Amino acid sequence: MTEFTPKIVAFVCNWCAYGGADNAGSQKLEYPAAVKLIRVMCSGRVEPEMVMQAFRQGADGVMVLGCHPGDCHYRNGNMKALRRFRLFSRLLAQFGIHQDRFVFDWVAASEGKKFQTVATRLAAAVQKLGPLSLTGYVRQGEPS
């Protein structure tokens, strides 16, 4: 059996979090290669269905990263996203997805180190949980 390498998808806003990942790059801060980014203009663009789609397509962990409160390029899209994903993360268990597989956080364009930390931490958490196997909706899934 081959070793499990968790696949992580990060939805990142163009202005802060994507910049944070770029900053990690510029500083040569290594993070697991299985962490891959989907750029959107604002974290407010990310729909819960997109996160579910990522899980369905084989992601073992998903993050949504936006600008810190008050820093949103579009004034407050990040706060709209926060409200949405706070609720969403509480519903994950019903889909048989452990809450630890999902992270919502703020990463500033200057926070390469934070991006590395958040990405590495999620990868480690997912590594511990093992591969995600989605069997269906609304079930007694992984313990939360």
How far apart (Å, rounded) are the C-alpha atoms in residues 66 and 79?
Answer: 9
49 lines the binding site for other proteins (CB under 8 A): yes
Q: Which 15-34 residues touch other proteins, going by CB under 8 A?
A: 18-19, 21-22, 24-26, 28-31, 33
59 lines the binding site for other proteins (CB under 8 A): yes
118 lines the binding site for other proteins (CB under 8 A): no
Strands 61-66 and 35-40 come out as unpaired
Size of interface with other proteins, in residues (CB under 8 A): 41
**Cβ(42)–Cβ(65) under 8 Å?**
no
Closest CA to 17 of 79, 54, 63, 85: 63
107 lines the binding site for other proteins (CB under 8 A): no
How far apart (Å, rounded) are the C-alpha atoms in residues 73 and 41?
Answer: 9
CB closer to other proteins out of 21 and 63:
21
57 lines the binding site for other proteins (CB under 8 A): yes
Please, what's the b/e burial string for 69-84 (b: 16 or more CB within 10 A of its CB; e: otherwise)? eeebeeeebbbbbbeb
Binding site for other proteins (CB under 8 A): 7, 9, 14, 18-19, 21-22, 24-26, 28-31, 33, 36-42, 44-47, 49-50, 53-54, 57-59, 73-77, 80-81, 84
